[in-house]
């Protein structure tokens, strides 16, 4: 049973999601909030496996909620509910701790599948985001970003490289002779490393500003 | 005067004078031996012929010197005339009245007919003239007047009533607190003397007054200029030189001593040195002589020493021939003049600038002339009325030459200024043009940045506004089971919005990532349509010109192509790919969307709206669109895009 919590301010969208989740036998809706304040209190309580979070909440940014959730250290999978999956939003969310995203216009069954998928350990990625990630974390191009504290494995790097060239997960699996799910897992791991790195960066920034120690 | 009559110089100058006089005496003696014969009762005199009768010049007389003003009866001593008693000659001190009375006799018959006159120049201080015991002239109103008459000519008409037909006695009584003496004395017809007198008056008084006043005005003007232009130190030197020279010249033309006699003497005496130094300083600054500051400072320091000596504050070892202050002043002046003349002479040969040559000549000619005059005349103070000093014009000439030279320089500077203004203006306009250009570039950049950020803002608006409304509408339509056509319209609108959003993603010309993203977005549609997709991309370079607007064209062309495959082709497989391809010798990328569907007869679709749109977009991308289809053989749409666009290639053929 996958316990799902939803933070979404658009009532129509929220209804669709919640109804669909409720209708699933393997899922249960544990909480439904429509603003940041309530969402934050919900996170304090916990009690869910997957958090669906919209970014544009009326009283703040969903990014902060994601960060709050990630900071609890629970084994929660966070999915961003977004309209276009444009790279800035997704990357910000990933750095804050998100592991995937749902597109608002996606068919609801795809959304439910994405929730299941993330729970199985797979994350989605678009070629443009893959490309951007490659650009930011590849050691030889590190001038644009900070090299990861935990570098990508060779396989993760290969996956990212293929995805950036527009290959689908299954294309990629075929090329690398692995399963599609494994591709998703690699992506999820890449996301995790990114999040850890961003936390390390924040820590470094804080300590260099003298807030810690 | 305080400075001693300089016997040393006197011996030189007077020596010359004596030689001259002996010569003249011999000459006139031979000519007028009659006068010599009757010399028992008349004073020895030279005779000067004139159209209106003889004029005689007294060359011998009887004199009494004494302290005070009232003359005693006895003590006459014969001496040659003119006879000047300089201060201290007889151990007198300035400040006490002294007198000299001269007595002369002349025969009425020896001079021409008509009204007689007595012409005298160089008679010192206050004086009276009496004929046969009757006073006929005095140059003062009150005994205490401080008359300055050493250089001044006087013409005294002698009333006939005062004259005897034979021998007449003339008594001249000069008294003063400084030098006394009786200068040149001419007796003759008034009309003849008038000419001599007027000429003398002009050269001794009128001309020096005018020249000196003009110089003073120039000096004051330059002082004003200097106050306005403090960095032009030459102006100050010129001004000081002119003013000091006026002070020095004052004793020539002034009939009266306007201030305390001692002060007046000090000023006239010292100013001659300082005027020379100031003029030298002007010249040295004008020609930018090296070490000028040091040289001028040294000269001024020496001047201060002379001043201190003059006022008796410093008493250097004295000299048997002249007072210490005079000795040092003349020695100093001589050194300054030698220095400046040497420099000027050298500069004359070195520098060919007009104003430099002019001033050099002025210095070389004037300086020694003036100084020789100054030294000899101020020394001798003979002032017996024989000499007309050119020196009094030296200063004004100097000032004039300097002014002209300076004027030429200023004029030249103005001309140069005009020229440099022109140059400046040219370079200014060049700079301005460059500035305008860079400003235009900046504006362009600002505009493009504004456009970008505005586009991003618009996108955000669409994202938040239109996008979320579309999504809500779509959700509602789906929930309420609206007809599929309306749902498709909403989907298409949303899809187009997504294309727009994607076109804005920064991909740095990476066409593959852009197309990959499109494929990623359409993956679900492809799956729904039952079309499998083969992704056949090869490594391609990036397209430097692929900005948001162009990316949107690319995305729309491919969206349309893929959409056509999904909607109309009945295909079950489609291949999307890109490959490097040269078209008409131009390198670029060829992308394609091929399906294995029904295909079309070309004529049916050539004029289709969709295809025309795609062609138009390809054209605006500077690319080419190729459409291949045959019934039963599937369809292929390819888009060729150049790596470098035509207009860029024209600018840089290297590419």
Give yes or no: residues B213 and B149 share one domain.
Answer: no
- Mutation target to probe the B interface, by most B beta carbons within 10 A, among A13, A166, A169, A187 is A166
- Give chain A's mean pLDDT: 84
The whole domain housing B344 covers 205-420
Distant-in-sequence, close-in-space partners of B246: CB < 8 Å, separation ≥ 6? B212, B213, B215, B216, B219, B395
- Positive or negative CA dihedral for B86, B91, B94, B97? negative
At residue B10, does pLDDT exceed 50? no
CATH number reported for the structural domain that contains residue B535 in this entry:
3.30.565.10
Final residue before a domain boundary, out of B359, B391, B420: B420
Over the stretch B425-457, which tens digit does the pLDDT of each residue have? 888 888 888 888 888 888 888 887 787 777 667
Chain B neighbors of A56, CB-CB under 8 A: 464
At residue B36, does pLDDT exceed 70? no
**B468 and A166 in contact by Cβ < 8 A?**
no
d(CA B563, CA B561): 5
d(CA B505, CA B499): 10
Query: In this structure, are residues A129 and A91 in contact, taking their beta carbons and an 8 Å threshold?
Result: yes
Peptide bond into B227 cis (omega under 30): no
d(CA B259, CA B236): 26
**Cβ neighbours of B47 (radius 10 Å):** 17
d(CA B387, CA B366): 19
Q: What share of chain B is helix, strand, coil (3-state, %, to 5)?
A: 55, 20, 25
φ and ψ at residue B236, rounded to 5 degrees: -65, -45
Give yes or no: residues B215 and B361 share one domain.
Answer: yes
Give yes or no: residues B47 and B174 share one domain.
Answer: yes
Over the stretch A74-89, which tens digit does the pLDDT of each residue have? 889 999 988 777 777 8
What's the N-to-C CA distance of chain A in angstroms?
A: 43
Residue B443 lies in a domain: no
- Mutation target to probe the A interface, by most A beta carbons within 10 A, among B520, B554, B579 is B520
What's the N-to-C CA distance of chain B in angstroms?
A: 99
Give yes or no: residues B515 and B412 share one domain.
Answer: no
The pLDDT score that the predictor gives to residue A131 is 85
Average pLDDT over residues B489-497: 84
SS3 of B623-645: CEEEEEECCCCCEEEEEEEECCC
Query: In this structure, are residues A77 and A49 in contact, taking their beta carbons and an 8 Å threshold?
Result: yes
Shortest Cα–Cα distance, B559 to chain A (Å): 15
Distant-in-sequence, close-in-space partners of B105: CB < 8 Å, separation ≥ 6? B41, B42, B43, B167, B168, B169, B170
Chain B neighbors of A107, CB-CB under 8 A: 524
Give yes or no: residues B170 and B267 share one domain.
Answer: no
At residue A154, does pLDDT exceed 60? yes
Rg (CA), chain A: 17
Q: The tokens of A110 are what? A: 């795809």
- Give chain B's mean pLDDT: 80
Angle at B326 between CA B321 and CA B328, to 5 degrees: 100
Angle at B630 between CA B589 and CA B610, to 5 degrees: 60
d(CA A71, CA B444): 46
Cα–Cα distance list, B574 to B111, B513, B528, B536, B626 (Å): 149, 19, 14, 10, 17
Give yes or no: residues B214 and B281 share one domain.
Answer: yes
> What is the DSSP-derived secondary structure letter of residue B43?
-
The pLDDT score that the predictor gives to residue A206 is 62
**B520 and A106 in contact by Cβ < 8 A?**
no
User: How many Cα atoms sit within 13 Å of B55 on the Cβ side?
Assistant: 26
Domain positions in chain A: 2-120, 127-208
The pLDDT score that the predictor gives to residue B297 is 93
Residue B485 lies in a domain: no
Average pLDDT over residues B348-374: 72
- Please check whether the domain covering A127-208 is classified as CATH 1.10.10.10: yes
Over the stretch B550-583, which tens digit does the pLDDT of each residue have? 898 999 999 989 988 888 888 899 999 999 998 8
Residue B99 lies in a domain: yes
Final residue before a domain boundary, out of B366, B386, B420: B420
Query: In this structure, are residues B655 and B541 in contact, taking their beta carbons and an 8 Å threshold?
Result: no
Give the whole-number percent of chain A exceeding pLDDT 90: 24
Which residue did the predictor score with more confidence, B88 or B309?
A: B309
The pLDDT score that the predictor gives to residue B383 is 58
d(CA B255, CA B204): 11
How many cross-chain Cβ pairs, A to B, lie less than 8 Å apart? 81
User: How many Cα atoms sit within 13 Å of B317 on the Cβ side?
Assistant: 0
Residue B428 lies in a domain: no
The pLDDT score that the predictor gives to residue A139 is 54
Rg (CA), chain B: 56
Residue in A83, A128, A167 closest to B535 by CB: A167
Give yes or no: residues B114 and B238 share one domain.
Answer: no
Write the burial class of residue B76 (CB in 10 Å: 0-12 exposed, 13-18 middle, 19+ buried).
Answer: middle
Question: Which range, A82-91, B34-43, B419-428, B588-597, is most confident?
Answer: B588-597
The pLDDT score that the predictor gives to residue B157 is 92
Q: How confident is the model at residue B74 (pLDDT cuts 50, 70, 90)?
A: confident
Query: In this structure, are residues A193 and A133 in contact, taking their beta carbons and an 8 Å threshold?
Result: no
Angle at B293 between CA B338 and CA B250, to 5 degrees: 60
d(CA B462, CA B460): 5
* Count of domains observed in chain B: 3
A2-120: which CATH topology? Rossmann fold (3.40.50)
Chain B neighbors of A104, CB-CB under 8 A: 468, 471
Q: How confident is the model at residue A147 (pLDDT cuts 50, 70, 90)?
A: low
Chain A neighbors of B514, CB-CB under 8 A: 128
| CA-based nearest residue in chain A for residue B498 | A84
Residue B512 lies in a domain: yes
Residue B487 lies in a domain: no
């Amino acid at each position: 049973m996958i316990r799902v919590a939803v933070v979404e301010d658009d009532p129509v969208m929220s209804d669709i999601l919640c109804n669909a989740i409720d209708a699933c036998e393997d899922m249960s809706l544990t909480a439904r909030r429509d603003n940041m304040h309530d969402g934050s209190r919900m996170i304090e309580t916990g009690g869910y496996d997957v958090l669906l979070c919209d970014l544009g909440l009326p009283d703040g940014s969903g990014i902060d909620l994601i960060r709050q959730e990630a900071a609890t250290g629970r084994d929660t999978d966070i999915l961003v509910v977004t309209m276009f999956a444009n790279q800035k939003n997704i990357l910000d969310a990933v750095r804050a701790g998100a592991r995937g995203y749902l597109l608002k216009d996606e068919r609801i069954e795809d959304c439910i599948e994405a929730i299941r998928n993330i729970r199985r350990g797979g994350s989605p990625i678009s070629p443009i985001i893959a490309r951007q990630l490659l650009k930011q974390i590849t050691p030889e191009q590190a001038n644009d970003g900070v090299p990861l504290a935990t570098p990508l494995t060779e396989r993760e790097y290969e996956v990212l490289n293929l995805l950036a060239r527009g290959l689908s997960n299954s294309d990629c699996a075929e090329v690398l002779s692995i399963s599609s799910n494994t591709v998703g897992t690699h992506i999820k791991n890449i996301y995790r490393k990114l999040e850890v790195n961003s936390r390390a960066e924040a820590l470094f920034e804080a300590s260099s500003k003298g807030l810690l120690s | 005067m305080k400075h001693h009559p300089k016997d040393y110089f006197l011996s030189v100058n007077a020596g010359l004078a004596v030689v001259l006089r002996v010569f003249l005496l011999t000459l006139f003696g031979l000519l007028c031996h009659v006068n010599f014969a009757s010399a028992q009762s008349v004073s020895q005199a030279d005779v000067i012929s004139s159209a209106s009768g003889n004029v005689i010049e007294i060359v011998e007389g009887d004199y009494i010197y004494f302290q005070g003003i009232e003359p005693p009866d006895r003590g006459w001593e014969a001496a040659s005339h003119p006879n000047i008693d300089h201060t201290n000659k007889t151990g007198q001190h300035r400040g006490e009245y002294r007198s000299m009375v001269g007595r002369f006799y002349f025969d009425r018959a020896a001079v021409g007919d008509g009204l007689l006159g007595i012409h005298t120049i160089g008679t010192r201080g206050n004086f009276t003239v009496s004929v046969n015991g009757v006073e006929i002239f005095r140059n003062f109103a009150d005994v205490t007047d401080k008359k300055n008459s050493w250089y001044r000519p006087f013409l005294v008409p002698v009333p006939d009533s005062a004259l005897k037909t034979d021998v007449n006695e003339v008594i001249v009584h000069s008294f003063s607190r400084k030098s006394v003496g009786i200068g040149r004395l001419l007796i003759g017809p008034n009309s003849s003397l008038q000419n001599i007198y007027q000429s003398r008056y002009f050269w001794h008084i009128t001309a020096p007054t005018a020249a000196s006043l003009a110089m003073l005005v120039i000096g004051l003007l330059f002082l004003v200029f200097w106050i306005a232009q403090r960095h032009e130190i030459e102006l100050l030197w010129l001004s000081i030189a002119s003013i000091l020279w006026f002070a020095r010249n004052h004793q020539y033309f002034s009939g009266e001593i306007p201030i305390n006699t001692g002060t007046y003497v000090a000023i006239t005496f010292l100013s001659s040195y300082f005027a020379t130094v100031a003029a030298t300083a002007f010249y040295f600054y004008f020609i930018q002589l090296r070490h000028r500051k040091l040289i001028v400072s040294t000269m001024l320091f020496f001047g201060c020493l002379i001043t201190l000596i003059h006022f008796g504050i410093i008493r250097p070892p004295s000299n048997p021939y002249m007072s210490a202050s005079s000795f040092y002043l003349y020695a100093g002046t001589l050194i300054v003049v030698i220095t400046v003349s040497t420099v000027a002479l050298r500069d004359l040969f070195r520098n060919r600038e007009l104003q430099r040559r002019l001033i050099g000549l002025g210095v070389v000619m004037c300086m020694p002339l003036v100084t020789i005059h100054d030294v000899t005349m101020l020394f001798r103070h003979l002032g017996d009325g024989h000499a007309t000093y050119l020196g009094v014009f030296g200063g004004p000439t100097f000032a004039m030459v300097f002014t002209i030279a300076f004027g030429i320089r200023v004029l030249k500077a103005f001309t140069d200024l005009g020229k440099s203004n022109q140059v400046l203006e040219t370079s200014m306009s060049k700079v301005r043009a460059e500035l305008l250009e860079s400003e235009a570039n900046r504006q362009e950049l600002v505009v493009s940045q504004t456009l970008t950020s505005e586009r991003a803002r618009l996108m955000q608006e669409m994202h938040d506004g239109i996008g979320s409304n579309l999504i809500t509408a779509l959700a509602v339509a789906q929930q309420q089971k609206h007809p599929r056509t309306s749902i498709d319209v909403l989907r298409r609108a949303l899809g187009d919005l997504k294309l727009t959003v994607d076109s804005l993603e920064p991909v740095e010309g990476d066409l593959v990532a852009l197309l990959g993203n499109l494929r990623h977005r359409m993956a679900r549609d492809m799956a729904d349509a039952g079309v499998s997709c083969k992704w056949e991309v090869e490594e391609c370079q990036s397209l430097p010109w692929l900005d948001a607007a162009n990316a949107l064209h690319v995305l729309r062309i491919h969206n349309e192509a893929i959409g056509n495959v999904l909607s109309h082709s009945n295909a079950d497989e489609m291949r999307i790919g890109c490959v490097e391809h040269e078209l008409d010798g131009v390198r670029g990328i060829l992308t394609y969307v091929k399906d294995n569907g029904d295909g079309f007869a070309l004529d049916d679709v050539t004029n289709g709206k969709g295809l025309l749109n795609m062609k138009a977009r390809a054209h605006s991308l500077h690319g080419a669109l190729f459409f291949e289809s045959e019934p039963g053989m599937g369809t292929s749409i390819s888009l060729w895009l150049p790596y470098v666009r035509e207009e860029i290639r024209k600018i840089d053929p290297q590419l």
